[in-house]
Amino acid sequence: MRQFTPVFALMFALIFAAGIHIGGGTALAGSNPMFKTKATFLQAEKDLTKAIKKNKMGLVSKASATHGAAKIGFKIKGNRVFGIYHPRFAVRMLKASIPAGIEAPIRIYLYENADGTATITYKKPTDVFRPYGSADLDKMAAELDGIFAKIVRDTVNP
């Protein structure tokens, strides 16, 4: 298995490098909301963490491709995925649909642009939960859409 590590690392780096050139600003039709910050990546990361707390959500997990790539000898720009949720929504989600539990936490993706600023994007909770076909889940997801939009707004305009 060890002999394949450089191949997978190279594939990861190439895929990530291709994705890093996605433009910021407004979302394209049918795509995830995407916004470019004026702040540096590190400042945007701090602003996002504050915005999560300000909007009474929990930071459940953080993952960083930057740190992971560094462990295998690759350097990539700032990159972090935030898993965000709260027990009050977990209870409602599981009451509406046990299989939907795989979707929590919902992620927000923050990555560094070539100019040092950051782009923030996420899947709308209504898009995440729509496939489960539950009116109660759809109602909860609509509430989460508003909260996630506010988190992003508070990050982009702290």
Structure tokens at 106: 């919902």
Domain around 86: 2-156
Which CATH number covers residue 108? 3.30.310.70
pLDDT at 105: 98
| pLDDT (0 to 100) of residue 41 | 97
Is the pLDDT reported for residue 18 higher than 80? no
Q: How many domains does the chain have?
A: 1
Tell me the two tokens of residue 48.
């996002």
pLDDT of residue 26: 42
pTM recorded for the entire structure: 0.80
Q: What is the C-alpha to C-alpha distance for residues 109 and 152, in angstroms, rounded to an integer?
A: 10
pLDDT over 80 (residue 58): yes
pLDDT (tens digit per residue) in 102-156: 999 999 999 999 999 999 999 999 999 999 999 999 999 999 999 999 999 999 9
User: Band of the pLDDT at 31, cuts 50, 70, 90?
Assistant: confident
The overall longest dimension of the chain from CA atoms, in Å, is 49
Q: How far is CA 6 from the centre of its chain?
A: 27
Predicted confidence (pLDDT) per residue in 68-107, tens digit? 999 999 999 999 999 999 999 999 999 999 999 999 999 9
The per-residue pLDDT for 15 is: 33
- Give the Cα separation of 89 and 81 in Å (integer): 20
